Amino acid sequence: MNSKLLAICSQWVAIFICASAPTVIAAQTNSSAADFGEVVRSLLVPADATPSWTLGAHPAVRWKSPAPEPAGTDLVKNGLPMSRTGAVQIKHSRDSSQASQWDVTLAGSRASPLESRLSTGDQGDSGIWPPDALKAAGFKLKALCEPGGISSGTALYEISAAGYQPAVLAHEWSAGSAGTWMSLIFAYTEQRAAKLKCE
């Protein structure tokens, strides 16, 4: 009986010691993370194609559904009744061993998407400044307007790359003590581009 009690006490002591030990969190290697430029290319329309719901077919993008579904209220109010949503881990520009999660959205009509969106879920360090990262990845950016703010704003660009149709890109950001939240909207049509404004 005493030996059983001793064994139980030993187990509890071992559990207590393990629970009390300091936790060491190692930086995660992101073998499944994608390069920013590759994800953006997957969202642009090929030169010989039209926008389709298969855009964003990058292996690192985790789509919630294989087909478009009724969109949320904000998109519907903005004339985009259908959407596909997902998420992707994108490598930091400064340190490719680190990655941050970005939300991915295709939005449009039942027939096809009219725009795509990439956004950081929360304020934090995404490790990327999109205009610089896009230029480094071989995209051409032509500034269409300059934003008015410093800590927050929206800049508009025409984005183009060999083999893809040009699109209008809205880069919105808001910086605070917790980091910077960012959103990128790629408009595929003139009508959608006309809805994007500099701020």
Task: Kindly state the percentage of the chain with pLDDT values over 70.
Answer: 82
Alpha helix (H) residue ranges in 21-147: 36-43, 73-77, 130-136
Tokens representing 18 are: 């393990």
The set of residues, in sequence order, having a beta carbon less than 8 Å from that of 49 and lying 6+ positions away, is: none
144 vs 128: CA distance, rounded Å: 21
Could you report the per-residue pLDDT of 57-104, keeping only the tens digit for each? 999 999 999 999 999 999 999 999 999 999 999 999 888 889 999 999
Cα end-to-end distance, the chain, whole Å: 77
3-class DSSP assignment, residue 100: strand
CA distance linking residue 128 with residue 125, whole number of Å = 8
Q: Are 171 and 178 in contact (CB under 8 A)?
A: no
**Single pTM value for the model:** 0.82
Condensed to tens digits (0 to 9), the pLDDT of residues 140-190 reads: 999 999 887 778 999 999 999 999 999 999 999 998 877 788 999 999 999
Structure confidence at residue 9 (pLDDT): 41
Sequence-distant (6+) residues with CB within 8 A of 149 are 199
